[in-house]
Structure 1
Amino acid sequence: DLSAGRALPGVEPVEPGNVIYQTAEDGLADTIKPRLVAANADCKRIFVIDESEKGLSLLDSRIEEAMAKIRPRLFIIDPLQAYLGGDVDMHRANEVRPVLKKIGFLAEKYECSVIMIMHLSKASQSRSLYRGLGSVDIPAAARSVLLVGKNPNNPNERAIAHIKSSLAQNGKSLGFTITDFGIQWLGESPLTADDMLGAHRFEKSEDKNKVDEAVELVEIILNENNEATASDIFKAGKEMGISRRTIERARERMRDEGRLTFDKTSKPGKCFWRLRKMPDFLE
């Protein structure tokens, strides 16, 4: 729609813009282009960075070179995990963070929006925001997170649900179906992220209180990093919509249960939180 200047549902039309669409999963000639043609995209405005001789990572200088030349309004990375780089463990926050910072810098410099497509994990965390593969730093760094899924009672019906928005209130879910002619929008949808994730099989996030969610966040961060400072955890909580006081209550609960330890000796002025390693017979 951006390449042709068309409007998405509920949005005013925009001037046509260039798009860089980098994909590692589908063939450009046999899959991507036919889909773009079916969607009436302006293919003259869709660009791809050539990977025929050398694979691309998000730290590759070719990305900035392409942005400077093409001046895209949108950069699509599909999927994110394919472009983090072979030396980056997507589950380690300290390795993912510099990559995201670099892309954020380029997005601001060239006034370009970035869409990072992620696959879902098979984990059963209560919050849909934690279900993406990789470090919790990825959704924490994003200004907006959308979930695309199917209606479990009608697989032909799909929806886009807004599960995080740092700059405004979450938007309402939008329903759509896929036809031979591309996407057909169905208007506002009652489907939620939990509906599409089949969250009825687990505890619904609304049935869990905020402290439970904060405990889950602390566990994810410490499992990723082995340790983290209080300020880092409070910052991650803020990005996820969890208050400092709620994280403090989670800390008190985990400490009382013997699941959390604290180290103030590693670096002066810093307190590191760590998960206590339980004896094998208790794990």
Structure 2
Amino acid sequence: VPEEWEKHSYISLGGLSEKAMKRMYTEYPHIHSIYLCMDNDEPGNERCRQFVSLIPEELSVYRLEPVKKDWNECLVAEVPVENMAKQMCWRDDREKPVPVMKMSEVEETVVQWLWYPFIPFGKVTLIQGNPGKGKTWLAMAIAAYCTNGKELPNALPIEPFNVLYQTAEDGIADTIKPRLAKCGADMTRVRFINEDEKQLSMTDDRIEKAIRQNNVRLMIMDPIQAYLGANVDMNRANEIRPLFRHLSTIAERTGCAIVLIGHLNKSSGSQSDYRSLGSIDIAAAVRSILFVEKVEKEKEQDIRVVYQQKDSLAKKENPVAFSLGEEGLTWLGEYDISIEDLLMGKA
């Protein structure tokens, strides 16, 4: 008898035909086990074999064989209920089917853009560059645009929305807020998760909760390595891959654009050897990568360029430039330069 059988619900069918059995497990899709209670004789055994061949493989099948010839004899002999049957497993050790979906069942969607073609909604984007080249300023300008809808090169008008800005490098009060103010951000729409009691990591469930509870459509995390979590080696693909898969899933489920800020790594040799810091899986996991670098040949004007190095979801557009001064960030429009010249300081 099944363990704790009295705590479960059962559908009992007598004089069962093949058609009735098929209808049963079609109408009751939550059934996971079937118990065959035929008589303990050759006709009963044969009937069990017939039914087993008809039952879907994802269901477990058990034979409850009466200790007497049939169940009536058990009742006449007053056999206790718990002793009436010998349980036999006919099919419980089969490999469970792998859940799969048909492509025909997938509803097509169109990628929505925060800033075409640089930052898509519902995906993860990486902004990277050398220290002091303007990555954080760029992130703040994007955040400000999201809160006021006023200015971003070639961006379509948007209705302002809330932003989460997490930083582990700069002070909130003395650096982040003053810079956001210079960018014209609506401070009521810029929020951050309080990390006083617990440091945030990419796998923290507070991320998705905060996004949903605050109707956030952009989240910025600066820098990447501060949010990987304790004991995570960013150079090891097997440790990085699950983190970014989790973060990408959050972005997709919520429709929020998640932007990560990262530093560049330089191997020995020329500046052309610059690469993303950490495992190559970081670059592989994100859908867009933006480089930020200063134009060295411009001595009279402080010009920084945003160059899209990876564009998985749209056609690559021309780089855009901005300058930094006493008043903060000023957009300069498109700027013609190659990534090689930009990173090697030739431009």
Q: Which TM class, normalised by the smaller chain length?
A: 0.5 to 0.7
CA 1:199–1:177: 2 relative to 1, 3 Å: closer
For the Cα contact (< 8 Å) 2:271–2:344, is it kept in 1? no
User: Aligned equivalents of 1:21 and 1:157: distance in 2?
Assistant: 25
Partner of 1:19: 163
For the Cα contact (< 8 Å) 2:272–2:344, is it kept in 1? no
For the Cα contact (< 8 Å) 1:159–1:175, is it kept in 2? yes
Partner of 1:108: 252
- Alignment TM-score, normalising by the size of structure 2: 0.55
The partner residue of 2:184 within 40, 47, 59 is 40
Using the TM superposition, give the Cα deviation of residue 141 of structure 1 relative to its aligned residue in structure 2, in angstroms.
1.0
User: Aligned equivalents of 2:314 and 2:290: distance in 1?
Assistant: 14
Matched, 1:52 2:189: no
Matched, 1:175 2:321: yes
Higher relative contact order (CA 8 A, sep 6+): 2
Greater radius of gyration (CA): 2
For the Cα contact (< 8 Å) 1:144–1:166, is it kept in 2? yes
- Alignment TM-score, normalising by the size of structure 1: 0.67
Partner of 2:311: 165
For the Cα contact (< 8 Å) 1:125–1:131, is it kept in 2? no
* 1:243-267 residue CA offsets vs partner (Å, 9 max, x unmatched): xxxxxxxxxxxxxxxxxxxxxxxxx
CA 1:93–1:125: 2 relative to 1, 3 Å: farther
Matched, 1:121 2:265: yes
Matched, 1:198 2:341: no
The partner residue of 1:146 within 268, 290, 307 is 290
CA 1:72–1:175: 2 relative to 1, 3 Å: same
More helix per residue: 1
**Alignment root-mean-square deviation, CA:** 2.0
For the Cα contact (< 8 Å) 1:5–1:16, is it kept in 2? yes
Matched, 1:137 2:281: yes
Using the TM superposition, give the Cα deviation of residue 23 of structure 1 relative to its aligned residue in structure 2, in angstroms.
0.4
Percent identity at matched positions? 47
User: Aligned equivalents of 2:204 and 2:227: distance in 1?
Assistant: 10
What SS does the corresponding residue of 1:190 show, helix, strand or coil?
Answer: coil
Using the TM superposition, give the Cα deviation of residue 180 of structure 1 relative to its aligned residue in structure 2, in angstroms.
2.1
Question: Is 21-30 or 81-90 further displaced after alignment?
Answer: 81-90
User: Aligned equivalents of 2:274 and 2:217: distance in 1?
Assistant: 28
* Paired residue total: 200
Using the TM superposition, give the Cα deviation of residue 130 of structure 1 relative to its aligned residue in structure 2, in angstroms.
6.7
CA 1:110–1:17: 2 relative to 1, 3 Å: same
Partner of 1:87: 231
The answer for unaligned runs of 5 or more in structure 2 is 1-144
For the Cα contact (< 8 Å) 2:146–2:161, is it kept in 1? yes
